[in-house]
Structure 1
Amino acid sequence: MIKTLFVSSEAHPLIKTGGLGDVAGSLPRALARANCDVRLVLPAYPDVLEKSRITGMKAISEFTVLGEPVTLWQTRLPGTRVLVWLVDHPYFSARPGNPYCASPNQDWPDNHLRFMLFCRAACELAMDRAGLNWRADIVHANDWQTGPLPLLLNEEKNRPGTVFTIHNLTYRGLFTWDAFDQLKLGNDYWHFEKLEFFDYAAFIKGGLVYADYLTTVSPSYALEMQQPEHGWGLDGLLRSRSDRLVGILNGINTDEWNPGTDQSLAQRYNRNTLKRKAVNKAALQEALGLKVEPHVPLLGFIGRLVEQKGIDLLLQVLPGLLKSGRIQFALLGSGMSHYEASLTELARSYPGRLSVTLGYSEELSHQIEAGADLFLMPSMFEPCGLNQLYSLRYGTPPVVHNVGGLKDTIIDADANEEEGNGFVFPDATAASFLSALERALAAYTDGDRWRKIQLAGMKADYSWDASAEAYRDQVYRPLLEA
């Protein structure tokens, strides 16, 4: 078995702020099924400790990191046999609230110290210096919070192989010289070929420069991030390491996202009972204060209200569609205050047509996926995307921009009548988006064709097992055999 230390700053259902949490909560269990001996390492945030006390945990080690005492707790990922190791230090356990932010627009000022300590602790675990008699073959780090870990392991003799996954290149973990100076790494790392990045230290470069293999969450995003328009200043570095960069499409938790067993739904259904989906539409309309109109297409959106997610495009096309009375729209999300204000004001203008729920609700997200007729993802860029995969699973054809993982998973129904599972628009413009929406609304009026599109999405397999096998066979084994 491949001993794999999977290191992440979040993992659902213990802690989640975004897609990284979904991946880190699902991929380790799939790796275990693929004959890997997995340990998932997380910071011991208060919410994580509270949930772990309920399911059971025990202290298994105490050690120091640069003189700082650390306690290691062991628990299991809920509903699985995957062991979880929680790094307990006041940086995490005495810091309630968001793992990264003091407020929506303000990061914790000591994030550089917090996540460097986390990486140093993970390094001790990987090298079997915490008295656990378990030494990793592979250390799999994720996103900027764990970027320094491959760098630290690179300094070790007889170290494990290192893999670094980029979930979203936008978030690079940028810190000033003064912050870098507090990390006790040595000034040699303040260099453009190492951590320095336009007069900042970029934690993500620790992974990009020093990991043995780089991976990202879809084949198309692996190519896009090597281009200036999507590279965020790191495209040259990524091109230089293209021989060690692999795009592996994310999967989804098909147990949690299963319309046939989903306890959040008013009516469960599957491919053979697809007509029952209409019950969920009526229940969602009633719950959100929308008019209960079975034949009016209900469009859904779940996500962060930020520029990346194409909110500007939504705001350009929604007023005309709502004014015509041809659609209803249900939105769940939070983010930039000006987007929240614009959408809230639009909802006031179209009562019974537009519902805006600010924040996040796991239950409501399932209900929107099941109750909506179409799901909108007009992202400017999308490394992988998970909601389009949930939508396919729930028979809710997506309308997506032709980028990243959206490009890799959605087949335009007008371009491919046999395998089409959604609608794709090529350009990041309101006109291009609206054209795809009009095509989708036209297809909705043809019951037989619409059902064919729904079934094309529902029959596909987007489970994590294929992704885990790709990591094992395309990354872990080649690294160990090198």
Structure 2
Amino acid sequence: MKVLHIASECYPLIKTGGLADVLGALPWAQAQSGADVRVVLPYYPAVAELLPKAQPIDELHTFAGTIILREASYQGLSLYLLDAAHLFARHGNPYHNADYQDYPDNVYRFAALAWVGASLAAGLDQRWGRADVLHAHDWQAGLACAYISHWRVRLKTVFTVHNLAYQGLFAAWHLTELDLPSSMFAIEGLEFHGQLSMLKAGLYYADEITTVSQSYAQEITDKMYGYGLHGLLQHRAAQGRLHGILNGIDPKIWAPETDPYIAQNYSRVKTLKHKTESKYALQQRFGLSEDANKLLLVMVSRLTEQKGADILLEALPRILSDQDVQFVLLGSGEPSLSEAFARLAADYPQQVGVHIGYDEALAHQLIAGGDVIVVPSRFEPCGLTQLYGMAYGTLPLVRHVGGLGDSVRDGQTGFVFHQANAEDLFEAYQRVRTRWDKPRSWQYAQRQAMAEDFAWANAAQRYLELYAQ
């Protein structure tokens, strides 16, 4: 089976969030299962640095200008890369500038990604031929499903929603610039409240839709989580075309037994005690007292209200009134939240450490060194940090929403609260604190969490079964 993934990120080549982690693992897992898998990705500067010898194979003249199509192999996986300096030669975040302002030409940048991806799926590269399945990810690739429908190409399309909140909305007049007919600008098509929606293109035109957890697939059919698209999603669900498949984690990258970033490797069975070395290293890095008996909470997250960063901020002063509790944050996002966490660190210098930004090695060190990883999201399609936490014996404290509720068993592999407010979070924290004071019970929960199987092989097989349908 030939499968072509189209996405705007792929770890470790380019990453801003969980989408990259999925594309960095799912295609490889599918290839291990015998599928012929390729990925289409922009040739960002960060990608070019890692793959400087990517070979040009075609020159495409598109509505977005000339694009050199390159190919490369990375860790055994074949990649198609869009080399167009005027579109993608921008350092840093691939979607916005340093002031968090979206690039004004995103409509052309990601329509071009979708167009080239659809063309490749339709057989543009004659050596590979036509794909059996085009798998588009999030709004940046959504138009690929519309192109395949418009061109009437005989292949199947799958669209995965990683986060419905980001919809790729643009002015309607762009449509005809993107080699799509004006007839597609309709309620039964790409139109969304007078705008062009790249996300809706995937939801409407794909043969099958997936989300990254079972609960999120249900939640987005409800008005509260559907962002105005719940009616369409209810219709697709009634057709049997909406599926939830929980993300996995890549044990080559996220495994305490082999992780090169952490102070000392450890395992669930014999050497869990070595986890303390990572805790000491983290405490030392942030100038906190090196004490295994202090309860160390960590958070690795974008700093947004979606992620519940403000909820945690409100609860932390009560939590930190206990001198035997510490907190370390790694994250970036809304300036007001970044500044609030920085002030918290200044107010509690003996208990709080904050690093604003993102550092992959440091993320591993927080997840290995913490005792609890906090994920208080208002909504969460899947969430990955709670899965990483469980793999490392760092028990998650999560809100029961989306994939968080699907993956964490309250009182067994972590701790769960239900309402998106500081009071409910604090009540759950009190259960954490009570359990922490019972070391044998805490270690039992750690081993339970580390025994959970969230390997990508399971999710990859489910996707292949869906393709086969």
What TM-score range do you get, normalising by the shorter chain?
over 0.9
Q: Which residue of 1 aligns with 2:144?
A: 149
The answer to whether the aligner puts 1:476 opposite 2:460 as a matched pair is: no
Q: Which amino acid aligns with 2:314?
A: Q
User: Structure 1 residues 24 and 364, CA, compared in 2 at 3 Å: closer, same or farther?
Assistant: same
Q: Partners of 1:385 and 1:217 in 2: how far apart?
A: 9
Structure 2 residue identity aligned to 1:454: Q
Q: What one-letter code is carried by the residue in structure 2 that aligns with 1:449?
A: S
Q: TM-score under structure 2 normalisation?
A: 0.97
CA distance 1:281–1:186, shift in 2 (3 Å):
same
Q: 2:345 aligns with which of 347, 352, 356?
A: 347
- Describe the SS at the equivalent of 1:324: coil
Distance 1:103 1:67 in 2: 24
Answer whether contact 2:331 2:356 (CA < 8 A) is retained: yes
Q: Which residue, out of 51, 54, 59, partners 1:57?
A: 54
CA contact (8 A) 2:29 2:460 kept: yes
Alignment of 1:179-218 (within 5 A): 179-218=174-213
- Name 2:24's counterpart in structure 1: 25
How far 1:181 moved relative to its partner?
4.9
The CA deviation at 1:265 is 1.0
| 1:12 corresponds to | 11
Counterpart-to-counterpart distance in 2, 1:111 and 1:451? 48
Q: Which residue of 2 aligns with 1:251?
A: 248
Structure 1 match to 2:315: 317
Q: Tell me the residue number matched to 1:402.
A: 400
Asked whether the equivalents of residues 61 and 132 of structure 1 are also in contact (C-alpha less than 8 Å), the reply is: no
Residue 70, structure 1, aligned to residue 61, structure 2: no
Match of 2:416 among 414, 424, 434: 424
> How many pairs align?
466
Deviation at 1:85, TM superposition (A): 0.8
Residue 251 of structure 1: how far off its partner (Å): 0.3
CA contact (8 A) 1:26 1:464 kept: yes
- Measured in 1, the distance between the counterparts of 2:153 and 2:358 equals 44
Distance 1:168 1:222 in 2: 11
Matched, 1:107 2:102: yes
Aligned to 1:265: 262
The change in CA–CA distance for 1:210 and 1:311 in structure 2 (over 3 A counts) is: same
Cα offset, 1:117, TM superposition: 1.3
Secondary structure, counterpart of 2:302 in structure 1? coil
Aligned twin of 1:274: 272
- Indicate if the aligned counterparts of 1:61 and 1:131 stay in contact, CA closer than 8 A: no
Give the equivalent residue in structure 2 for 1:390: 388
Q: Hey, what's the Cα distance between the residues in 2 that align with 1:66 and 1:105?
A: 26
Distance in 2 (alpha carbons) for counterparts of 1:375 and 1:97: 27
Answer yes or no: is the 8 Å Cα contact 1:62–1:130 preserved in 2.
no
Amino acid at match of 1:403: V
1:35 aligns with 2:34: yes
TM-score of the two chains, using structure 1 as the length reference: 0.94
Deviations 1:109-139 (A, max 9, x none): 0110111111111122111124434210000
Q: Is the 8 A contact 1:422 1:453 kept in 2?
A: yes
Q: Deviations over 1:63-91 (max 9, x none)?
A: 333483322211123xx211011011234
Q: Is the 8 A contact 1:46 1:92 kept in 2?
A: no
Match of 2:132 in 1: 137
Among all aligned residue pairs of Structure 1 and Structure 2, give the percentage whose two residues are the same amino acid.
Answer: 42
**Deviating more after overlay: 101-110 vs 34-43:** 101-110
Q: Secondary structure at the match of 1:233?
A: coil
**Secondary structure of 1:365's aligned partner:** helix
Cα distance, 1:174 vs. partner? Answer: 0.6
1:293 aligned partner: 291
Q: Aligned partners of 2:66, 2:100: CA distance in 1, in Å?
A: 31
Report Cα offsets for 1:215-270 as digits up to 9, x if no partner. 01000000001000000000000000001001000001111111111111111100
- In structure 2, stretches of 5+ residues that fail to align are none
3-state SS of the aligned residue for 2:328? strand
Partner of 2:369: 371
SS of equivalent residue, structure 1 residue 304: strand
Match of 2:428 in 1: 436
Q: In the superposition, relative to structure 1, how do residues 340 and 133 fare at CA in structure 2: closer, same or farther (>3 Å)? A: closer
CA distance in 2, matches of 1:340, 1:180: 37
How much does 1:430 deviate?
1.4
1:260 match: secondary structure: coil
Which amino acid counterpart does residue 18 of structure 2 have in structure 1? G
Secondary structure of the residue aligned to 2:321 is helix
CA contact (8 A) 2:375 2:397 kept: yes
Distance 1:324 1:287 in 2: 21
Distance 2:60 2:81 in 1: 13
Measured in 1, the distance between the counterparts of 2:396 and 2:128 equals 48
Give 1:176's aligned residue. 171
Q: State whether structure 2 residue 455 is matched by structure 1 residue 463.
A: yes
Checking the alignment, whether the CA contact within 8 Å between 1:332 and 1:360 is kept in structure 2 is yes
Deviation digits for residues 12-43 of structure 1, max 9, x if unmatched?
01111111000011100001012210011101
Alpha-carbon offset, residue 192 of structure 1:
1.8
Range with bigger deviation, 13-22 or 81-90? 81-90
1:161 corresponds to which residue?
156
Taking the aligned partners of 1:361 and 1:87, their CA distance within structure 2 comes to 26
Matches of 1:62 and 1:215 in 2, distance apart?
33
> Which residue of the partner structure matches residue 416 of structure 1?
none
For 1:234, the aligned partner's letter is: L
1:358 equivalent to 2:356? Answer yes
Could you give the per-residue CA deviations for residues 116-169 of structure 1, whole angstroms, max 9, x where no partner exists? 111111122111124434210000000000110001001224421000000000
